[in-house]
Amino acid sequence: MFTCRTCGEVNDFPEMSPEVNDLGFYFDCPDCGARNKLVNVATAGETAALVQLSDE
C-alpha cells in the first residue's frame, strides 16, 4: 500500500499503478493527482520492489 503525501489517501495496486520516467519511480494519486516518489529496493536482475520512504 502507498499513501499520498498530499491528501493522505491510501492506495493499493488495483487502484493505482506505479510508473517510471527519467526522474525515477512514482505514482500519481487517483484522488488528488499529486505525484508521489517511490524507491526501487530490488537488487540488479530482480523484479522491481517499490517502497515509499517515510521521510520523503
- Rounded to two decimals, what is the model's pTM? 0.80
* Res 56: pLDDT: 59
If one compares 32 and 54, the residue with the highest pLDDT of the two is 32
Q: What average pLDDT does this structure show over 37-41?
A: 94
Q: Is the pLDDT of residue 37 over 90?
A: yes
3-state secondary structure at position 38: coil
How confident is the model over 18-42, as a mean pLDDT? 93
Percentage of residues in the chain having pLDDT higher than 90 = 68
Average pLDDT over residues 9-33: 88
Residue type, 46: E
Alpha-carbon gap, residue 47 to 10, rounded angstroms: 24
